[in-house]
Chain A
Amino acid sequence: MKHHIVPRVIAKLFIPGIILFGLYVQFHGDYGPGGGFQAGVIIGAAMILYGLIYGLNDLKKVAPSNIIISLIAFGFLLYAGVGIVTQILGANFLEYGVLGHTQKEGQHIGIILVELGVGITVASVMVIIFYMFAGRKN
């Protein structure tokens, strides 16, 4: 789609907004609807849109596939790691209360970290699926 000016301009205008909205959904998930899963999908969609319009190679410059592959595991490990940290601090697996000074503060920190892990894994899985499909063309 390199020679279609309308999609290129529209994508350039929209992609920062989409990513910003994804971050809003990610970090506002405890107050409004949303959370890590939806945010990951939105950010993944923004990156795939970039790849569709500007080509796979440009997207791979922004998000190299080996980094994306390690991010898949990183998000999952971040989630499980929060559970292990709470265990080390003397509570049950994924019992966030011990992460902060008060129960509510700990819950807040725990939920934000866990949702971040979900978001990272989901976004990078979406991008990697796109890489795998789009890369088969050549």
Chain B
Amino acid sequence: MTDAVATNETILVVGGGISGLTAALETAECGKNVILIEKNPSVGGRVSQLYKYFPKLCRPSCGQEINYRRLKANKRVRVLTMAEVVNIKGAAGDYTVGVSIRPRYVNENCTSCGACAEVVSAEIDDPFNYNMKKIKAAYLPHNMAYPQRYVLDPSIVGPEEGERAKAACKYDAIELDMQEQALELKAGAIIWATGWKPYDAAKIQPYGYDRFPNVVTSVEFERMMDPFGPTGGRMLRPSDGKEARNIAFIQCAGSRDRNHLKHCSRICCMATLKQSTYLQEQYGDDSEAQATIYYIDIRAIDRFEDFYKKVQADPKVRFVKSKVANITEDRDTHDVFLHGVNTEGYHRYDNTHDLCVLAVGMEPSVRAEQINGNVAGDASGFIEMHEANGAIFGAGCASNALDVNRAVQSATAAALRAIQVVNRVAGAEV
């Protein structure tokens, strides 16, 4: 698929998460040609790593299934995985984009039969599970991976393991001499949808994420709930594998903080409210299961208020208006102690919890100013709407801290902005 032919009426979408996928599909379903570039071996992005969506508590892969079906059915979208933009030349309506493609060592012949993984013994950290789990070095990124094609980790591309994998493949799908590839693509408009990354929790020193095993991030907690995740879908403490029943959630871990991210990341309140419902799911009416949410303001905006009310009515969930001051741990049990003050009436606490989940903030994966050297962004690095950006349009979390619904909305809007440009190029009067 790397022989993608592109013209200045092609729309290039950078990033294959929910926003990029949406932008690509919505554009293509308007009859435009699209090239979708994804850095990872499969598309889907961060939503693939989520256990459930708020507020419906439905499964992200459900919508992904629909999107992948749209993708498979649409001949106007070409997907390039393991690909990254190196440079952008030209102007609106006439860009030339340099793209570099890392070798996958597995070609399109792959039937995802899994024979290679069976013979490979080396294991690597699983990035899909935030390195909390090991996987074979010949792997399908995850159950829903699209393209449904294996990947060989570069570490095993060599005489032993690599050759063994190659020998096991009956379909000549493994190419150990695959090289990095450089492409130049034409595009009329570019939709930049590189999404977000969780704020580095280790930088929040008083919370000891780098020191205490039982302090985890919200994104890691999400993986723990997946039956195919690092803990088999159970809330097990990293320190001793015991069930965590008394769980603390710390809001604004990095957000709304001049020392870290100055913006509010918007999603974390809802994400925590959602995660607090996982206790009911895991432990039913077990009264020992308790979630304590430490917050400054609960930002359950618009209809999400319904969900907030539902959680408030749950006897398992307790709210403490407080930014936790610091965390210490019991060296023997690895229980964590949260210290702080409930500011509603001044109540000091030193609470013990089995596990503490940091609702980490959102920052753009690629900061605006890093894109092509001159894309206008806000102080947090999110892409702004700006004339100087030509036909480079931000979509989804590359443009703001957004929930999935708003990211999709943003991507749909970006799709139209890109179409406006290529329609002008085509002189297409409808």
Are both chains from one complex? no
Question: Interface residues, chain A, CB within 8 Å of chain B?
Answer: none
Question: Interface residues, chain B, CB within 8 Å of chain A?
Answer: none
